């Protein structure tokens, strides 16, 4: 069994070992050593990277027998002595995220009775899924702040972090936050005086090395509450990005950062009012244009004017426009509005015109893959914009 050196020293970045086996895979090799400081993916914490001799370590995993294997980009000979080196920035980042996971989980347990059931450390942020009492999947902002304050208070106090393998008698007496998931070789991590849980990951020796822990969000996830967070350098980089963005935006708006939210809210209200006024003006312009189009419209044999137009707007505008047009006698209104590569349609006619609008729209839309239908005097549908021209042709040439 591989001697896992990181159990005794998470800060060990250089070591020497012996290759016990090397097996060829599709495009790389997997190597087993007698001893290794490389952390294999487990417990939600990703693997370490680095080098073994002249080979780059691409992945580290544990097989079903509990052996640690290193995926490398070049072969190593069995029996060969090899020097290993860990990518320290990656390792330390994972140590910070993993310790923050414990501290957030502890605060949620102590304050709210939440039980953490999973950790995931990605390249950008980390998440834990928490089973909350009564199936709660969201908590108020003030509760999130309270959890965050609890964690960072312990970071500021630089509480100690201890990792060890207790004897069975000692293990049974320890106040663990939740039962271990394994029955043998149980390793315990304790952070300060109020967090203790079984864990095989790597962690800093004190909480102060996290620097800062920031909860990014709380969202529902598969019936649980998912907490997204960053710690250490990730938290610093998140703060710097947010700082630069906030101050840059404030400068563009010629206001102070403390007034930024109020300033943006006022701008949103102004923009909302401007959009509403623009919509009103466009609607009135479109309606005026339609009324003027009646005079130049093509006429059916019975004298009814056919107003066929594509407008800029939505279905509500089409209904409004059609309703206004057909208040006058002798009008057939075939109106459409584009929505990306499709269109919506409203067909309507005056009460004195003998044309079935539902039948006309259905006949024009069906060959083009569209849908439409309705009453003899009013119909709606959607599909290819060419439906409008097809309807005009059916009406004028086929007399539908």
Mean pLDDT of 345-374: 93
| Same domain? 44 vs 128 | no
273 found inside a domain: no
| Same domain? 134 vs 221 | yes
| Same domain? 96 vs 157 | yes
Domains identified in the chain, total number: 3
The H or E element spanning position 72 is strand 68-72
The answer to whether 291 and 325 are in contact (CB under 8 A) is: yes
pLDDT at 289 over 80: no
Residue at a domain's end among 42, 61, 86: 86
| Same domain? 56 vs 194 | no
Pairing of strands 195-198, 188-191: antiparallel
The answer to whether 102 and 191 are in contact (CB under 8 A) is: yes
| Same domain? 300 vs 394 | yes
Q: Distance between CA atoms of 2 and 69, rounded to whole angstroms? A: 9
| Same domain? 35 vs 105 | no
257 found inside a domain: no
Tell me the average pLDDT of the chain.
93
Find, among 84, 1, 79, 81, the residue nearest to 38 by Cα. Answer: 84
The answer to whether 36 and 68 are in contact (CB under 8 A) is: yes
Q: What is the pLDDT of residues 90-99, one digit of tens each?
A: 999 999 999 9
| Same domain? 234 vs 288 | no
Mean pLDDT of 299-316: 88
Which structural domain, as residue segments, surrounds residue 60? 3-86
Q: Distance between CA atoms of 291 and 250, rounded to whole angstroms? A: 47
pLDDT of 295 reads: 78
| Same domain? 73 vs 107 | no
pTM of the model: 0.74
| Same domain? 97 vs 234 | yes
Q: Which two tokens stand for residue 340?
A: 């990306």
Q: What is the pLDDT of residues 15-54, one digit of tens each?
A: 999 999 999 998 999 999 999 999 999 989 999 999 999 9
| Same domain? 37 vs 123 | no
Q: Distance between CA atoms of 353 and 302, rounded to whole angstroms? A: 9
| Same domain? 150 vs 164 | yes
The pLDDT-based confidence of 106 (bands split at 50, 70, 90) is: very high
pLDDT at 137 over 90: yes
Tokens 């409004």 sit on residue: 320
Cβ neighbour number for residue 209 with a 10 Å cutoff: 17
256 found inside a domain: no
């Amino acid at each position: 069994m591989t001697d896992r050196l990181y159990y005794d020293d998470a800060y060990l970045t250089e070591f020497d070992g012996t290759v016990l086996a090397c097996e060829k895979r599709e495009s790389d090799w997997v190597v087993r050593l007698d001893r290794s400081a490389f952390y294999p993916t487990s417990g939600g914490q990703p693997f370490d990277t680095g080098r073994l001799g002249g080979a780059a370590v691409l992945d580290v995993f544990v097989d079903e027998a509990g052996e640690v294997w290193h995926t490398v980009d070049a072969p190593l000979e069995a029996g060969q002595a090899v020097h290993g080196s860990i990518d320290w920035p990656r390792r330390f980042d994972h140590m910070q995220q993993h310790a923050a996971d414990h501290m957030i989980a502890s605060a949620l347990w102590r304050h709210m009775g939440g039980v953490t059931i999973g950790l995931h450390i990605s390249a950008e942020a980390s998440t834990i899924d928490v089973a909350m009492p009564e199936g709660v999947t969201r908590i108020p902002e003030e509760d999130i702040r309270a959890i965050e304050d609890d964690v960072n208070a312990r970071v500021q106090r630089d509480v100690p972090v201890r990792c060890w393998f207790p004897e069975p008698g000692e293990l049974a007496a320890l106040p663990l936050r939740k039962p271990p998931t394994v029955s043998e070789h149980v390793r315990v991590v304790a952070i300060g005086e109020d967090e203790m849980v079984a864990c095989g990951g790597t962690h800093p020796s004190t909480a102060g090395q996290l620097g800062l822990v920031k909860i990014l969000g709380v969202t529902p996830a598969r019936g649980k509450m998912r907490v997204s967070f960053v710690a250490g350098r990730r938290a610093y980089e998140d703060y710097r990005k947010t700082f630069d963005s906030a101050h840059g935006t404030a400068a563009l708006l010629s206001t102070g950062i403390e007034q930024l939210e109020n300033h943006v809210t006022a701008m949103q209200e102004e923009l909302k009012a401007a959009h509403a006024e623009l919509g009103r003006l466009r609607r009135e312009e479109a309606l005026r244009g339609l009324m003027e189009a009646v005079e130049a419209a093509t006429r059916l044999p019975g004298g009814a004017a056919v107003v066929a137009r594509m407008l800029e707007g939505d279905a509500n505008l089409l209904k409004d426009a059609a309703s206004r047009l057909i208040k006058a006698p002798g009008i057939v209104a075939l109106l459409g509005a584009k929505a990306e590569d499709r269109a919506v349609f409203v067909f309507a006619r005056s009460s004195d015109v003998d044309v079935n609008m539902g039948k006309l729209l259905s006949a024009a839309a069906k060959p083009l893959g569209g849908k439409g239908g309705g009453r003899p005097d009013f119909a709606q549908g959607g599909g290819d914009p060419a439906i409008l021209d097809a309807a005009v042709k059916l009406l004028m040439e086929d007399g539908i």
